[in-house]
Chains A and B, each alone.
Chain A
Amino acid sequence: DQQVKQNSPSLSVQEGRISILNCDYTNSMFDYFLWYKKYPAEGPTFLISISSIKDKNEDGRFTVFLNKSAKHLSLHIVPSQPGDSAVYFCAASFGGTSYGKLTFGQGTILTVHP
């Protein structure tokens, strides 16, 4: 049972344009969502997060939007740069007895063309 899904395996964008990466989740108990960036043979690095009490969080070129009713979140990168080319993972967690457990999606490969 895949509780966090990234349905687009890949995305190709021109430099300077907007990149939009999407993520859907099924467990309504999730209350904290994160985006990570990963290069091959390296560990993921944290990009941005959002709590379920918010619908938007912004950090520089990165903005995460959360739509709780649709159980959907998205990461917007504006403007996209060639250095943004990597695999992007969304992740989710919730409190209670499973506090701390992070569930990841399958990842989306972003390629930004010069």
Chain B
Amino acid sequence: DGGITQSPKYLFRKEGQNVTLSCEQNLNHDAMYWYRQDPGQGLRLIYYSQIVNDFQKGDIAEGYSVSREKKESFPLTVTSAQKNPTAFYLCASRKETGGMNTEAFFGQGTRLTVV
């Protein structure tokens, strides 16, 4: 079964701690994304990566870090520098087709709560 897997589904973090959210895909997609959703708001882009070992900041990258060492994996670290980390985090992937647009596929999300 091809798809995107995010883990864990629920995550609790103490203030001042870093935490890493996992995102794995077996769709052979080149591009991967991290979005954040807050209540009543749309999806805001944190980071994205179009190829292995390369990634770009999105609109709200401060307090977050990512890595893209493998095509299948794009983990997101929420650092202690992120002032308001409690949110629903969504990972997505998209097949790059050399100029043709395609849809993005999303994982089921991770709800992070700072306690």
Interface size counted on chain B using CB atoms at 8 A: 30
Binds A, one of B14-22, B61-69, B72-80, B106-114: B106-114
Q: Bound complex: CA of A71 vs CA of B34, how far in Å?
A: 26
Contact residues of B between 64 and 112, Cβ < 8 Å to A: 88, 90, 92, 94, 96, 99, 101, 103-109, 111
Please give me the 10 A-B residue pairs with the lowest Cβ-Cβ distance, nearest first. A43-B106, A32-B101, A106-B42, A104-B43, A46-B103, A104-B42, A100-B31, A43-B108, A44-B106, A43-B107
* 19 more CB-based (< 8 A) A-B contacts, given A101-B33, A106-B41: A6-B42, A9-B40, A31-B101, A34-B104, A43-B90, A43-B92, A44-B90, A46-B105, A49-B101, A91-B43, A99-B96, A101-B45, A101-B56, A101-B58, A103-B45, A104-B35, A104-B44, A105-B42, A107-B41
Residues of B within 8 A of A (CB): 4, 6, 31, 33, 35, 40-45, 48, 50, 56, 58, 88, 90, 92, 94, 96, 99, 101, 103-109, 111
Report A's interface with B, CB cutoff 8 A. 4, 6, 9, 31-32, 34, 36, 41-46, 49, 51, 89, 91, 93, 95, 99-107
